[in-house]
Each structure stands twice: as structure tokens, then as C-alpha cells.
A and B are shown apart, each in its own frame.
Chain A
């Protein structure tokens, strides 16, 4: 399998606070990685650096063969290949669900409107929300909104999907419907990096687990090893607290 994302010695500071310390990470095509760790450990910052919603100050980030830096000219093209699902959904409230999904394909990928709508319906079908296509985001439940956001990202037909705590803002009974949609996506072979506290999901889907603390990757291991035989004491402590 070939590498699709590569991080080499990445460092990031927010003013004087160092959010990421010497991150090295390789992600292969179709690999699913779940990142966990206590809050403030740099998990979100790490995946937001991958599509440059945050800027790193040191080191290299290479996505699909192109390095991401302040000199990157076609940052938009790279972002179009990297889908992202946010904790707060971030749907566009002034557009219907269907328009949310077709907007970027039409304007960024120059797709004809008809094709974009067909694609959007296909993806909405996939997350089982096609019947809500004409509604506005404000009229949907949290779980439905998050699935719409997932469909919106999928409409760009990305090579990589990033999930930034996709279920943290949801009521417990809605978490499952979102996780189910993500499991389906994983089974379809998408490359995924997921920041989440849902360990059940991690066990089911992840190839590799990453545990982060204080801006560092403390442990990276195969999922089975990670849960059954964690090496670092910090990981053990964390797992004992959340499992």
C-alpha cells in the first residue's frame, strides 16, 4: 500500500504554547486511524494541520505527494481532496441540505448542476437522509445534520476523510446513527483519520490507534495491541479511565 499522508517532524506553536511536538506519522491508502487522548493534547490540531486549517511552523506535511506549506499554490485543490467532518457540523444554514451538498461540486469542481444533484442524492442516500434533502439544516436533528455534513464532504469525492470529534456534540441516542454511517464508509475503503472518544467504534474500524498527550504521539500501535497490551503507562491510565 502506498503512503498518502506523511508528516515529518511537525511542530506547531500557538504563540508560546507548543501544540504539536515532533509529530511523525505515515498514513497509507485505505488505512483507518483513530486518534485519542485527553483534551488539549493536540489531536484536533494535528488533523486540522493536514488540510491547513491550522498552520504548522516546522517540519513537513505531505498529502498525496504535495507538500503543504505557506507556499502551496493549489492549497484549494488539496483541500478538495481531503474531506472533513467537524464537531459542530458547520452546515451552511442559508442553504438546503441538497444545496449544501451540491455547492462545492458545482463551484469548485465545475460539475454540471444535474450531475452534482445526482451525486448529492446518491451520497445522501448513503447516509440515509435523502428524504430530508429539501429541508434546511436548522430543521434537522443533530444526528441528521452530522450525517448531512458527512454527505456534503463525500460529494467532493475525497481521497481522505478527516473526522474531528464527529459525535462529541450529539445526544447519546444520535451517536449511533452517525457512527454507523462512518463504519459503512470505512468498509467501502476510504482512508480515514478519526479523532474520537468512541472506543467501540475504534475497535471495530481502526487499523491503527494513536494516543496523544501534551502535543506528542505517545503511542502508535495496531488496534488489538493498543487495547490489549498498551505499552506506555500514560496510555494505560487513559484507557482505564475511559473504558
Chain B
């Protein structure tokens, strides 16, 4: 059959545009029908073929309107950006059609068919997500098993933290230093004491009762703050000229990097107490914090080492030639530049750390994901795993996205060269 009649050309521009647009339009109608009304124009055909018909209509339509230098600005733009070849046309259609087909059902489940009102599982009748589950359990998801009457302590601790962090952005440079020192060295002790209690008339709350999102924050924050300096020192140690320091660093890094976190946590809970003298007791949470910190420090060390290696030798030589010793050279010249270079890597490690915190369930500590896990096994709320994990996933995503944006801003702010 002679197909040359179907070869687009400028002579019959308008008829080709009309025919092509009509076909594309039919393709869209078809996909929208199948998305919203679970039928389509070619429903009489075998289902596998009718599933693909919108794509065929669209492809043929796009083929007809693929006319170079047509003179029509919009058409030229569409052709160069989305429709430059059959393959690109196929990709364009696949993306658009997939969005039309799969976004609405997802939105339906999330919002339109979802249940928000009520207090029990039985209130969820409409077939969508049962957010009642999250609503009822929200308190537990945030505070874990912490006693309801004592929750103001967690609120106070975190509110103070946020206020201090916020203040550090707005106060003059002179006070900023003191706020940061306070945040790093004094606040953690006060905050932990406030939450654990035991003194000053505060009821003691054992760490086993801590949990939920607040525990996620506590574990992440401590591990983040501690793993950074330890990692930096390990990185410097690995490049040291002194063999004892170098091999100790290498050994430490390779040991911790080579072990899965879950086994490290397990060891910290089960094996570690055996090495302690009788009668001494280190709290479970402290042991977990140490384990995660050392584990992530090993990764941090390698990230920082990458930055150290990227610096030209001349920077070291210039610092030395000005009479700087090892520590001055590293703290004034080398580390500021090296750390800036590896901000993306540091952010990566931090994000991984936050997302590793759910693993502390192996020692019986239940942070956000752990609490979800617990709640879904409650006999009254069986079958709510989807809602729970979607909620936990969203919360983790928000935390990580904020951190990622912050690291990008930091990168921009610190950019002075090149």
C-alpha cells in the first residue's frame, strides 16, 4: 500500500493539523474514559489491545502533525520539545497518559474517598484511606508510650530547641556563637534531663517508654551532632603520617563500615552489657546512640576524606609556609574548604542516618515507624498497615526534604570561589 499520502507536508498543513489533533484528542478522551469511567471507546476489542489503543491514536496523531518549520510557532515548539521522533512522541504520551490514568485513583484513595471523621475502624466505610487510624493514634506516633500527663516535658524541650535554633538565625553574629555553643554542649543535657526526669520533682520516665516521632528526632539529632566531629577526626587520622593513628583509624572505619547497622544495634543491646563489670548499667538508649553514632561516623569519615583529598597540595604548602602547625592548618584552611566541597555527601549521610533510625526496633525502642508497626497489630485496628506506613513515609520524606533543601542553601551561601 502506498503510504506517501500519509507523509506530512506543508502543502496540506491545515488538514494534517486537523487530522492529527483529532486523533490525539480521541486518544485523550479514551484514556480519560478509562481512568474515570473504567470503560473506553475500544472496549469491544480484547482488553489487552484496548488498553493500548489511546497510545496508538496519540502516536499516529503526533506523527501526522510532525511537520518541520511549519511556521506555526506553537506547533514548532511542540514538535521540537516533545515530538521530534516517534520514540520521543511515545515517551511523551506514556508519561502524560500514565499521569492521567494513575493519579486520579491515587488521589481518590488519599483524599476524595478517604475517611477523616470518627474514632473507630468501623467509621471507615467509603473504601479510601482510613485516616481515622492516624488521627486516633497520632498521640502515640508522636510521643510513643510516654505518659500523657508528662508530655508537656517533651513539648517544652522541643519548643525550646526550635526557638533557640530560630533565634540563632536572627540574632547578631556576636551572640550567635554563644547560642550555638549552648545548643551543642549545654542544651542536650538539659533537654535529656527534662525528658527523662528523676530529679527536680519530675517523674522518672524510663527510656523504654520514649518513642514515636520525638524519639526519631532525639536519636537523629544526637547521632548527627556526634558523628560529625568523630568522622572528621577519623578522616584526619586516616591521613596521618603516624602509623599508629593511621592504622587505628583505618581499622575503625573498615570495621564499622563492614557491619550491617542492624547487627551493630543487636550487639549493643545483647553483647555489650556482657563486657561491662557487674552492677554497672548503661541505658539502652545511650547504647543505641553510641552504636549509631560510631556507625555513621565511619561513613562520615570517608565522605570528609574525599573532601580532604580533593584539595590541592598548594593549600597545605601555603598554610605551612605561613608558619601554621597541623591543627591551625586544618581548622583554618583545610577543613573549611574540604567540608564545603562535601556538603552533598554530608547531607547524604545525614539523610541515610535519619532513615536508619527505625532499625532501633531490634532493641525494643519504637520510634515513628516502630509505633506504626505496633499500632497496626492492635486487634481493633487490623489492616491499617497501608495508612500507617504511608503516614510514616510522608513524615520521613518531609524531614529529609527539609534537610536536603537546607544543605542546598548552605552550599549556595558558602560558595565563594570558582
Residue from A76, A90, A107, A137 within 8 A of B417 (CB atoms): A137
CB of A114 within 8 A of chain B? no
Q: How far is the CB of A52 from chain B (nearest CB, A)?
A: 8
Q: B121 near A: Cβ within 8 Å?
A: no
Tell me the B82-128 residues at the A interface (CB within 8 Å). none
- When each residue 306-331 of chain B gets 1 if its CB lies under 8 Å from chain A and 0 otherwise, what string results? 00000010110111111111001000
> Which secondary structure dominates where chain A touches chain B?
mixed
A83 within 8 A of B: yes
Query: Does A84 lie within 8 Å of B328, measured CB to CB?
Result: no
For the complex, what is the distance from the CA of A77 to the CA of B417, rounded to whole Å? 30
Instruction: Report if A53 contacts B (CB, 8 A).
Output: yes
Instruction: Name, among B312, B322, B414, B418, the residue most crowded by chain A CB atoms within 10 Å (CB to CB).
Output: B322
Q: Given A103-B332, A108-B328, A138-B417, A90 and B322 touching (CB < 8 A)?
A: no
Contact pick for B416, options A76, A80, A81, A93, CB 8 Å:
A93
Cα separation A138 to B337 with both chains bound (whole Å): 14
A73: min CB distance to chain B, Å:
11
Task: Say yes or no: is A51 at the interface (Cβ < 8 Å to chain B).
Answer: yes
In-complex Cβ contact of A136 among B325, B328, B417 (8 A): B417
B314 to chain A, nearest CB (A): 4
Q: Is the CB of A79 within 8 A of B318?
A: no
| Alpha-carbon gap, A136 to B337, bound state (A) | 14
Contact of A108 with B317 in the complex, beta carbons under 8 Å: no
A116 at the interface (CB under 8 A from B): no
**CB-nearest residue of chain A to B336:** A94
In the complex, how many angstroms separate the beta carbon of B412 from the nearest chain A beta carbon? 14
- Across the interface, do A53 and B322 meet the contact criterion of CB distance under 8 Å? no
Residue among A53, A152, A153, A156 making CB contact with B320, cutoff 8 Å: A53
Whole-angstrom distance between the alpha carbons of A136 and B415 in the complex? 11
Main SS class of interface, B: helix
- Interface check B340, CB cutoff 8 A: yes
Encode A86-106 as 1/0 by CB contact (under 8 A) with B: 101011111000000001100
Which residues of B line the A interface, CB within 8 A? 312, 314-315, 317-325, 328, 332-333, 336-337, 340, 414, 416-418
A94-B337, A107-B328, A138-B418 known; A79+B320 contact, CB < 8 A: yes
Give 14 new A-B contacts, CB below 8 A, not counting A91-B318, A138-B417: A51-B321, A53-B320, A84-B321, A86-B321, A88-B314, A90-B315, A90-B318, A93-B337, A94-B337, A94-B417, A103-B322, A104-B322, A137-B417, A156-B322
Q: List 5 A-B contacts (CB under 8 A).
A: A76-B323, A77-B323, A92-B337, A94-B414, A107-B332
Q: Which residue of B is nearest A152, CB measured? A: B322
- Cα separation A149 to B321 with both chains bound (whole Å): 12
* Interface flag for A82 (CB, 8 Å): yes
State the A residues within 8 Å of B (CB).
51, 53, 76-77, 79-84, 86, 88, 90-94, 103-104, 107-109, 136-138, 149, 152-153, 156
Which A residue sits closest to B418, measured CB to CB?
Answer: A138
Given contacts A93-B418, A94-B340, A138-B418, contact A104 B314 (CB under 8 A): no
Picked from A53, A88, A91, A107, the residue with its CB within 8 Å of the CB of B321 is A53
The answer to whether A138 touches B416 (Cβ under 8 A) is yes
Min CB distance B366 to A, Å, is 43
Please measure, in the bound complex, the distance between the C-alpha atom of A90 and the C-alpha atom of B320, giving whole angstroms: 11
Q: How far is the CB of A100 from chain B (nearest CB, A)?
A: 9
> What is the minimal beta-carbon distance from B334 to any residue of chain A, in angstroms?
10
Q: Are A76 and B325 in contact (CB under 8 A)?
A: yes
One of A51, A77, A86, A152 near B314 (C-beta < 8 A): A86
Contact B322 A108 (CB under 8 A): yes
Q: Are A104 and B323 interface neighbours, CB within 8 A?
A: yes
A107 to B330, CA, bound (A): 13
**A137 to B418 Cα, complex, angstroms:** 9
Smallest Cβ-Cβ distance to A51: which chain B residue: B321
* Among B312, B318, B333, B340: residue with most chain A CB under 10 A: B318
- Measured CB to CB, the closest approach of chain A to B330, in angstroms, equals 12
CA distance A149 to B416 in the complex (A): 18
Considering the complex, give the chain B residue whose CB is closest to the CB of A84.
Answer: B321
Chain A residues near B328 (CB, 8 Å)? 107-108
Q: With A and B bound together, what is the CA distance between A137 and B417 in angstroms? A: 7
Assess the B321–A79 pair: CB atoms within 8 A. yes
Shortest distance between the CB of B189 and any CB in chain A (Å)? 31
For the complex formed, measure the closest distance between the CB of A220 and the CB atoms of chain B, giving whole angstroms: 25
- Decide if A79 touches B322 in the complex (CB within 8 Å): yes
Shortest CB-to-CB span from B154 to chain A, Å, is 39
Q: Is the CB of A104 within 8 A of B324?
A: yes
Q: Which A residue sits closest to B326, measured CB to CB?
A: A76
In the bound complex, residues from chain A placing their C-beta under 8 Å from that of B417 are: 93-94, 136-138
Residues on A with beta carbons closer than 8 Å to the beta carbon of B416:
93-94, 136, 138
Query: Which chain B residues lie closer than 8 Å to A92 at the CB level?
Result: 315, 318-319, 333, 337
Bound-state CA distance A76–B314 (Å) is 17
For the complex, give the distance between the alpha carbons of A131 and B324 in Å. 27
Interface contact A86-B318, CB-CB below 8 Å: yes
- Give, as a whole number of angstroms, the nearest-CB distance from A11 to chain B: 22
Which residues from B are CB-within-8-Å of A82?
321
Residues of A within 8 A of B332 (CB): 103, 107
Task: Determine how close the nearest CB of chain B comes to the CB of A83; give it in whole angstroms.
Answer: 7
Chain B residues positioned under 8 Å from A149 (CB to CB): 318
Name the residue in A51, A77, A79, A156 with the highest tally of chain B Cβ atoms < 10 Å from its Cβ: A79
Q: Please, how many angstroms separate the alpha-carbon atoms of A152 and B315 in the complex?
A: 14
